[in-house]
Copies of this chain bind each other. A is one copy, B any other.
Amino acid sequence: MNKSIILKNRPSGKPSLKDFEFTDIKKPKAEEGKLLLKTLYVSVDPYLRGRMRDEKSYIPPFKLNEPLESMIVAEVLESRNNNFKKGDFVSGMLKWQEIQISDGEGLNKIDSNSAPLPAYLGVLGLTGITAYLGLEKIGKLKKGEHLLVSGAAGAVGSVAGQIGKIKSCKVTGIAGTDKKIDTLREKFNFDAGINYKKTEDMKSAIAEACPEGVDVYFDNVGGEILDAAMANMNKFGRVINCGAISLYNAEEQPTGPRLETVLIKKSLSMQGFTVRDYAEDFPAAIKQLGQWLKEDKLKYEETIVEGFDKIPQAFIDIFDGKNKGKMLVKVS
């Protein structure tokens, strides 16, 4: 019994359970140079929706009828590779499969004593690194500036906002429930929060929360919230286009106000950010994030669903904002 999840259909609009299929494959054996891995924790992330489309992007699309993959924490059951030994914990881009073989390439050994294993898929994993490097490389956030974050209660947004506070910035977060807004203020130390689902005029709401304007906007959602943020940017403001979850399920080309005149008038920049472009900066990012975590300057939230069978539903639930912080599936 070794379950695997394959992409059955390319989703139309919001993904549904029928787009995924469970198959049962033979338990593999590790040949010379290989590792046998047991999946422990699976990260489910909005960007995976993009890979389900058959189109060119920064990462190749998933193939139909083949296993899906995402960032996973696994345990080494057997090693015939000198770089790893039985009992090691590793993280890397791995298949949605209970037991699998790897040649070790792209895997990182992780230390379960420094931080709990799931943290390596969140605050010390790609999402935390995304927040850190987005602000460093694109946002160039400086002390005293005003940082606006959308998807602020999410895995990336909550770390981005906290880094803003560590850098002595004013931080406003946008999220979709009052409970999330409370968490932003109470747990993550944000200065202000806006529940966009209860706000008719986002432009005015941002203006009220950021009376001195916005210097850096960390955008995880795109769409109308981006438009409202643009109207509040200060001269020389920087927009980190990290995600556009509000558009990912759109089947037609979404339209909106043209932004080129406001870019020119206020000397703004918008820059698409994909953390994989900065792989050489990952070790420094993880070191800094780990340090802040130890100093208790960085809090995080996780929503951990249990059971390998729950992976597709957990992925679908992200698009309804059912997660608090990083969405993970604990497999065993």
Q: Which A residues have a C-beta under 8 Å from some C-beta of B?
A: 50, 56-58, 219, 222-223, 226, 235-236, 241-244, 247-248, 253-274, 277
Contacts and interface: CB of A to CB of B under 8 A. Distances in A.
B272 A271 contact: no
Contact of A257 (B235, B254, B271): B254
Contact of A264 (B223, B241, B259, B268): B241
Nearest to A219: B260
B265 A272 contact: yes
Contacts of A268: 271-272
Contacts of A235: 58
Chain multiplicity (copies): 2
13 contacts: A58-B266, A58-B267, A247-B260, A254-B258, A255-B258, A256-B258, A259-B270, A260-B270, A263-B271, A264-B272, A266-B272, A269-B269, A270-B271
A244 B264 contact: yes
- Identify the interface centre among A242, A261, A264: most chain B CB within 10 Å of its CB: A264
Given A260-B272, A263-B270, 18 more contacts: A56-B265, A58-B235, A58-B266, A222-B260, A226-B260, A241-B263, A243-B264, A254-B258, A256-B256, A259-B259, A259-B270, A260-B270, A264-B272, A265-B272, A267-B271, A267-B277, A268-B272, A269-B271
